[in-house]
Chains A and B, each alone.
Chain A
């Protein structure tokens, strides 16, 4: 693709970071508010797609040597393993727990929940599968 994309590239370099930050915000907001691993994953994937659009596949492969299929598998593993964590405590599959802890930097009484770990699995799976699909379609056009 030989087109003049200076504006796209310059804008992408800034916008990508904004999108990625927003996706992280959405990911952590998801526990009590709208958001979560699925939406966070989709937003992250959209940032990555923007990068792939403005720079080409080869250079992106050098910058981000990530195997997205493996990423999907690891995400699924994390999600299932979180569900199975309840086996250790004699609770039914998929039970979750939360507690309040005093952490430095985050302040007193920060809520930590095992549901976030499950969400992390969902996040990785969504990023992995979205990128796999889009790259599989994109790679055919050479």
Chain B
């Protein structure tokens, strides 16, 4: 029993509730940022505990494991929680400068905290029905955040977003029901144990496919048709946190279910995951290269990276899983950074259409060079954070003999680099065309650069400090590769 496990969920929930009652704008911002900072501290403490004594489990209300609901903090979940909170703080700093007073007064800060609570809860839960509950907490907050402000584009996209997510939620509950009917438990550790006993036959493969469909839809794995529209509708800070966290929660759910529960028949499930990942990479890259405006480049970069992470899962070696952990942490930071840069650029240039911008490097040299550095981080150039994850995933892919997919992944890295460099060349470098719109206020744009610099510094720290991180990542990947560690931590003996 360790009550610290529930704190990363409780702190944002409590803060969200308190912020409903707070009226002063300054206090809204201060309390919001302070709570996330406290949450980072608490999670760091949790990580030190996991490092010292292994996986931390909390049986809620004292009901013991396969019957009651458990929260399980293994190294993988805890690393994701801390990265999510770090990114959330920085996006909140960006948000309080751009989101506008009206949105802040209409409970933006509360919904933001509830979103973080849902994300942390999804990472920490050890029960697949509870995973659904935390998904809903996260999604309901995201519905509110995506529609807040009620511009025409937001209203149009939020209807699509809600319909798609409600459909997938319905399928989620149905799959959970089928799983319970077939196996008779919903505790993830117990599920893993029982499926190992009864063997993963045809029926369980179908249920696995249903989960693949549900989580694939949420993660934007192959079924990403809803993603480009929805992620470009809300203001930049909200899109940034969506791109950084929401698809990652879907990816986390895929990784958790296909390493802990449905890992008995990898020839079927993981092969399928591999090809879905390949298709996602190809389509995402084509989208990013073909995009004519900044938002298009941003959202299709998200799609392509989802494919890349799932490719590591499909390779399914311990090395590749280490790569997945590194890359996931990197991707949370770097996608937030890309979207924040996009938001700053939209304000700076007054338009996202690449054709009608140019020459902004004169006014905003720092913004330009930040974007340039980020492009290399996305591609995975060494000192920055993407390198090690990519290397390990590709190595795992080669070991698994997936030569075609490795080729696709390598080519896509190059093309994604091109897509962002094209934004840099057209937006910052080429002479400004006639009739280009006037930019926003210089002072406003300059104030937005601090959060971006912070995120890039974190990305560099993740890359340079990979050595120090290696111990934690090893533990995380080891738990994924050896489900028995997780099972014995949750069920005892």
Contact = CB atoms under 8 A, between A and B. Distances in A.
B3 A93 contact: yes
B61 to A, nearest CB: 4
A87 B60 CA distance: 12
A53 interface: no
Contacts of B1: 92
Contact of A73 (B6, B20, B58, B61): B20
Contacts, number: 39
A113 to B, nearest CB: 13
Given A80-B10, A80-B14, A95 B62 contact: yes
Residue from A76, A92, A94 having most chain B Cβ neighbours under 10 A: A92
A116 to B, nearest CB: 16
A86 B63 CA distance: 14
Interface residues of B, number: 15
B62 A70 contact: no
B60 A92 contact: yes
A8 interface: no
Contacts of B14: 77, 80
Contact of A77 (B6, B17, B59): B17
Given A80-B14, A87-B3, A93 B61 contact: yes
A72 B20 contact: yes
B60 A93 contact: yes
A80 B17 contact: yes
Contacts of A74: 21
A5 to B, nearest CB: 35
Nearest to A67: B21
A120 B1 CA distance: 27
A84 interface: yes
A69 B3 CA distance: 30
Contacts of B17: 73, 76-77, 80
Interface in A10-41: none
B109 to A, nearest CB: 13
A91 interface: yes
Given A93-B3, A93-B10, A77 B18 contact: yes
Contacts of B378: none
Query: Which of A69, A73, A80, A87 gathers the greatest number of chain B CB atoms within 10 Å?
Result: A73
Nearest to A69: B20
Contacts of B60: 92-94
Contacts of A86: 3
Interface in B10-41: 10, 13-14, 17-18, 20-21
Nearest to A70: B21
A9 interface: no
Contacts of A87: 3
Nearest to B5: A93
Given A91-B62, A92-B62, A96-B61, A73 B21 contact: yes
18 contacts: A69-B20, A70-B21, A73-B17, A73-B21, A74-B21, A76-B17, A80-B13, A87-B3, A91-B62, A92-B60, A92-B61, A92-B62, A93-B3, A93-B10, A93-B61, A94-B60, A95-B62, A96-B61
Interface of B: 1, 3, 6, 10, 13-14, 17-18, 20-21, 58-62
Given A77-B14, A80-B14, A92-B58, 16 more contacts: A70-B21, A72-B20, A73-B17, A73-B18, A73-B20, A73-B21, A74-B21, A77-B18, A80-B13, A91-B62, A92-B61, A93-B6, A93-B58, A93-B60, A93-B61, A94-B60
Q: What are the 7 A-B residue pairs with the smallest beta carbon separation, nearest first?
A: A73-B20, A94-B61, A93-B6, A76-B17, A95-B62, A94-B60, A92-B62
